[in-house]
């Protein structure tokens, strides 16, 4: 049993079986290291608000905020410890505050439950994570567009059913992933707005009669709005996280398809591209091997992201209203899915930057079959019905009368269109980048002001 300075938040003196404690605590002391800083920021806002409504004296609030800043800095350096007997970061933080500030530390939990305390810390973590992923997607889009601009006119075969279909270019193929990433950034910005509501003050899910100023903590923490209904707040545990993991799974679709393409086109059989040795690994038995393990593991990471989303959905999807301890298991899949997504985007950026193109091989792949559709379109331009042009071209192809070089102008039409799309994509990326930067700037201001020690101006507003 912990001493008076370090009791569990719910400890009333009863004896609990050690096995029960171990099972219910689980790995929270490890997992919650990622929430310590966010809990400190949220607790600082809560303390400031409690002072403004008269529950804390200004001196008490200042002591709490000073101690919370120390906790925040320790957390950033990886030095804040969460003793196992205190279960999680919330218990450890309160124990530290009681130790450092005495009665003020015992007052900090006024008007909140560990439920909304976990919710607000997780929501802040999630908002920050979305900004980090959005920034990585923006960088990825920039890297891809640079490659498109550099290699946009390099011709390559296009495939359907894994059979050669029509001519295309590196610019068109790779540009598809730039456009896809722009769509994902737009979705991420919308998701950020969707989850940008403040759960703090809902307490155990039924509100409090203390006159808490939830608008004030909403402002201090940089949320867009209050999450109003307290039961809905509790019912939302895991919902925002699930939306984020579904978005991460959508990002994963891009990651695995691009990984697949790079792996396939860099095989000896295709040999369109080459991956540098710096991003490949070797074999323990075959000296000649340079394996695309990074790209293969990105594909596997996507499976893990989907698995995290599925795990989370099953945890929250079978419950009646209000809080249940099941929600403890919403944190781990969130942390894992975010981590896997960030690492995978960063590594695929490296692959896009560094793969080289075997132009001679691509040039040699220009078979007559690739240009059959262009030949049919030529006949359509001359006035023939497409179905007649289709049949005539099939006969000419068999007779060896379709010559790739005759259709360079047709491919140039596609290249010119791709150049136009490239310019439009750059404009779109610039617009979305400003949205992401605005959210990051607002979030950074919240963190910078979280431990401000001045209270006199707030008394003018709320006194």
Query: Do both 92 and 155 map to the same domain?
Result: no
Q: CB of 39 within 8 A of CB of 121?
A: yes
Pairing of the two strands 163-169 and 155-160: antiparallel
pLDDT at 459: 41
Is residue 391 in a domain? Answer: yes
Query: Do both 298 and 379 map to the same domain?
Result: no
**CATH code (residue 261):** 1.20.200.10
Verify whether residue 324 is a known catalytic residue. Answer: no
Alpha carbon distance 281, 277 (integer Å):
7
Between 84 and 247, where is the model more confident? Answer: 247
Query: Do both 267 and 246 map to the same domain?
Result: yes
pLDDT tens digit sequence for 341-356: 999 999 999 999 999 9
pLDDT at 289: 81
Is residue 410 in a domain? Answer: no
pLDDT at 25: 65
Cβ contacts of 433 within 8 Å, gap of 6 or more: 138
Of 99, 92, 104, residue with least CA distance to 28: 92
pLDDT for residue 22 is more than 90: no
Query: Do both 335 and 298 map to the same domain?
Result: yes
Q: Which of 40-54, 83-97, 228-242 has the lowest mean pLDDT?
A: 83-97
Between 171 and 280, where is the model more confident? Answer: 171
Q: CB of 68 within 8 A of CB of 40?
A: yes
Range 206-218 average pLDDT: 95
CB atoms within 10 A of CB 366: 18
Is residue 458 in a domain? Answer: no
Is residue 248 in a domain? Answer: yes
pLDDT at 285: 86
Total domain count, the chain: 3
Range 2-31 average pLDDT: 62
Is residue 216 in a domain? Answer: no
Instruction: Choose the catalytic residue: 190, 283, 321, 354.
Output: 283
Query: Do both 275 and 251 map to the same domain?
Result: yes
Instruction: Choose the catalytic residue: 161, 278, 284, 456.
Output: 161
Query: Do both 52 and 138 map to the same domain?
Result: no
pLDDT for residue 318 is more than 80: yes
Range 291-305 average pLDDT: 95
**Helix/strand/coil percent split, the chain, to 5:** 70, 5, 25
Query: Do both 11 and 150 map to the same domain?
Result: no
pLDDT at 1: 33
Verify whether residue 161 is a known catalytic residue. Answer: yes
pLDDT for residue 6 is more than 80: no
Q: CB of 75 within 8 A of CB of 37?
A: yes
Query: Do both 38 and 186 map to the same domain?
Result: no
Q: Residues 10-23, buried b or exposed e (16+ Cβ, 10 A)?
A: ebeeeeeeeeeeee
Query: Do both 98 and 244 map to the same domain?
Result: no
Query: Do both 381 and 427 map to the same domain?
Result: no
pLDDT for residue 99 is more than 60: yes
**CATH code (residue 101):** 1.10.275.10
Range 192-210 average pLDDT: 96
Range 36-42 average pLDDT: 97
Query: Do both 155 and 290 map to the same domain?
Result: yes
pLDDT at 32: 87
Per DSSP, the residues of 74-114 read HHHTT-----GGG-SHHHHHHHHHHHHHTHHHHHTTTT--H
Q: Residues 408-425, buried b or exposed e (16+ Cβ, 10 A)?
A: eebbeebbeebeebbeeb
Range 259-268 average pLDDT: 96
Query: Do both 189 and 303 map to the same domain?
Result: yes
pLDDT at 437: 96
Range 326-345 average pLDDT: 96
pLDDT at 2: 41
Of the pLDDT bands very low, low, confident and very high (cuts 50, 70, 90), residue 457 is very low
Domain assignment of residue 190, given as a range: 122-201+239-365+417-447
Mean pLDDT of the chain: 92
Range 415-442 average pLDDT: 96
Of the pLDDT bands very low, low, confident and very high (cuts 50, 70, 90), residue 458 is very low
């Amino acid at each position: 049993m912990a001493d008076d300075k370090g009791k569990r938040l719910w400890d009333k003196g009863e004896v609990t079986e050690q096995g029960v404690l171990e099972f219910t605590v689980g790995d929270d002391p490890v997992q919650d290291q990622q929430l310590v800083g966010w809990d400190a920021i949220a607790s600082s806002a809560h303390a400031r608000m409690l002072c403004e409504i008269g529950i804390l004296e200004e001196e008490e609030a200042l002591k709490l905020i000073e101690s919370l800043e120390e906790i925040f800095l320790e957390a950033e350096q990886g030095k804040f410890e969460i003793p196992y007997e205190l279960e999680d970061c919330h218990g450890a933080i309160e124990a530290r505050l009681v130790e450092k500030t005495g009665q003020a530390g015992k007052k900090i939990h006024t008007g909140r439950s560990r439920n909304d305390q976990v919710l607000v810390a997780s929501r802040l973590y999630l908002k920050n994570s979305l900004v980090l992923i959005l920034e990585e997607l923006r960088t990825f889009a920039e890297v891809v567009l640079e490659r498109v601009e550099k290699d946009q006119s390099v011709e390559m075969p296009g495939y359907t059913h894994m059979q050669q279909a029509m001519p295309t270019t590196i610019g068109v193929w790779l540009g598809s992933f730039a456009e896809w990433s722009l769509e994902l950034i737009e979705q991420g910005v919308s998701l950020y707005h969707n989850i940008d509501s403040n759960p703090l003050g809902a307490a155990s899910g039924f509100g409090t009669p203390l006159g808490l100023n939830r608008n004030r903590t909403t402002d201090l923490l940089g949320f867009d709005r209050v999450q109003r209904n307290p039961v809905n707040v509790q019912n939302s545990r895991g919902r925002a996280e699930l939306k984020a993991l579904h978005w991460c799974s959508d990002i994963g679709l891009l990651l695995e398809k691009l990984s697949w393409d790079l792996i396939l086109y860099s095989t000896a059989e295709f040999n369109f591209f080459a991956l540098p040795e710096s991003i490949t690994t070797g074999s323990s038995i075959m000296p000649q091997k340079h394996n695309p393990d990074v790209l293969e593991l990105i594909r596997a990471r996507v499976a893990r992201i989907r698995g995290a989303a599925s795990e989370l959905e099953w945890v929250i999807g079978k419950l009646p209203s209000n809080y249940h301890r099941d929600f403890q298991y919403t944190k781990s899949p969130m942390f894992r899915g975010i981590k896997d997504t960030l690492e995978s985007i960063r590594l695929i950026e490296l692959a896009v930057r560094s793969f080289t193109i075997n132009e001679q091989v691509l040039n040699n792949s220009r078979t007559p079959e690739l240009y059959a559709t262009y030949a049919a379109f030529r006949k359509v331009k001359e006035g023939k019905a497409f179905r007649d042009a289709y049949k005539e071209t099939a006969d000419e192809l068999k007779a060896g009368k379709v010559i790739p070089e005759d259709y360079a102008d047709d491919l140039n039409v596609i290249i010119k269109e791709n150049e136009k799309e490239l310019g439009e994509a750059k404009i779109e990326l610039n617009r979305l980048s400003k949205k992401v930067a605005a959210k990051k700037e607002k979030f950074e201001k919240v963190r910078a002001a979280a431990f401000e020690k001045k209270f006199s101006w707030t008394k003018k507003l709320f006194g």
